[in-house]
Structure 1
Amino acid sequence: MRKVKRTKVRGWRWRNNPLRHHSDAVEAWVVLATRATAMAGGAAVGVVGAQAMESVVERQRAGRQPVAAVLLETAPTGVRDVATGIKYDHVKAKVRWNDGNGVAHTVKAGVKPGAEADTEVTVWTDGQGRAVSEPVSPAEATARVALAGTGVAMAGCLVILVGGLTVRLRVERRATERWGEEWDLVGPQWGRTTG
């Protein structure tokens, strides 16, 4: 069996020819507008998403302060995740510190495994004196910002492309309906014999 080689003509919807319908030109414009909007819109929402994540990370880093605390108990060692078996690099243990007003705070905070009682540890607090997790490192902050910007950009592009595809399918469906209407008018004439 011989394979048929198809010739692809680029840009045929843009050229004037007797077989081109108005719907072909509309479809070409929809595709062009969708791609241009997806690139520009995706980049724009990606930048906005990255800036939003950057402000969240900066607020988090600005609101956390290190304080010196005393470990009240020896921290457990060899604690592993039940599901994965991975050893934790921080465990919860009781610590105490005094804030700027002289008020003593006692909480369970994340410390290194095996730390001895009565040793000084660094605990991160928020503005209310509550123990919080350590702020993200600059490298992790950069990774989060980049990941958020990329994810938002991809989601924005996807929404625009799906919208463009929906419009394109609607144009194609309407063109098919018009061709059907034209065939209903012309089709019966093909069955006539000339004589």
Structure 2
Amino acid sequence: MRRTRLTRILVRRWRWRWRRNPLRRHTDAVEAWIVLVAWALATIGGAVAGAVSAQATETALMRSRAERREVSAVLLETAPADLVDMTTGDICSRVRAQVRWTDSDGVVRTDGASVRAGTKSGATVPVWTDGHGRLVPEPMGPGEARARAILTGAGATVFGGLVILAAGRVVRLGIEHRATERWGEEWARVGPRWGRRTG
């Protein structure tokens, strides 16, 4: 009930700018149009920004996945099985250990990689490399990449819409400020007459 009444008041307050009214100034109509255009642009522009951002993110993640190769590496040391995560206090399920692999050019390489805790030395473990044979983190799967793209797109939609609305608000404040100055100038001319007696 209270919300309905508040909604009616807000709608009535908004609509007076559009109705013919002797008290309505030209700037009131201009402000109403600015608000309408800002909301329309925020809706459309935000949606476009979100779609473009989501597509770009998904494309970049899929390209990253395509550029990475999974190779087999040999573990050079036994991975510790009892390391504790200092932030959570849990035993780590994955730890860093030295591995050796041969890249696509036939060069034998050695580096630290994330492996399952407790894996014995000499075991074969999968690692991911980039186009230059360097170790890189495992790329996101298609589902995870899509979820990241959706979240990025949603953030871009909200941010883009808010930027447009903020720009509309700045324009509106400028118009209001100028209208107030004009009103002050007119009052300075007309106000003193109101104090005089006529007749």
TM-score, normalised on structure 1?
0.91
| Distance change in 2, residues 1:11/1:91 (3 Å) | same
* CA RMSD of superposed structures (Å): 1.8
The sequence identity of aligned pairs, in percent, is 54
Give 5+ residue unaligned stretches, structure 1.
none
Task: Note if 1:137 corresponds to 2:141.
Answer: yes
Cα separation, 1, equivalents of 2:51 and 2:128: 31
Task: Note if 1:98 corresponds to 2:98.
Answer: no
Per the alignment, residue 123 of structure 1 pairs with 127
Task: Note if 1:65 corresponds to 2:65.
Answer: no
Cα separation, 2, equivalents of 1:108 and 1:46: 38
Per the alignment, residue 178 of structure 2 pairs with 174
Deviates more, 1:58-67 or 1:72-81: 72-81
Aligned runs of 1:1-195 on 2, under 5 Å? 8=9, 9=12, 10-195=14-199
Paired AA for residue 143 in structure 1 = A
Cα separation, 2, equivalents of 1:82 and 1:75: 18
Deviates more, 1:46-55 or 1:28-37: 46-55
Residues 25-51 of structure 1 deviation map (CA, whole Å, 9 limit, x = unaligned): 010011001000000100111111111
Give 5+ residue unaligned stretches, structure 2.
none
Q: Do the aligned residues in 1 keep the contact of 2:104 with 2:133 (CA within 8 Å)?
A: no
Cα separation, 1, equivalents of 2:116 and 2:81: 9
Cα separation, 1, equivalents of 2:71 and 2:179: 71
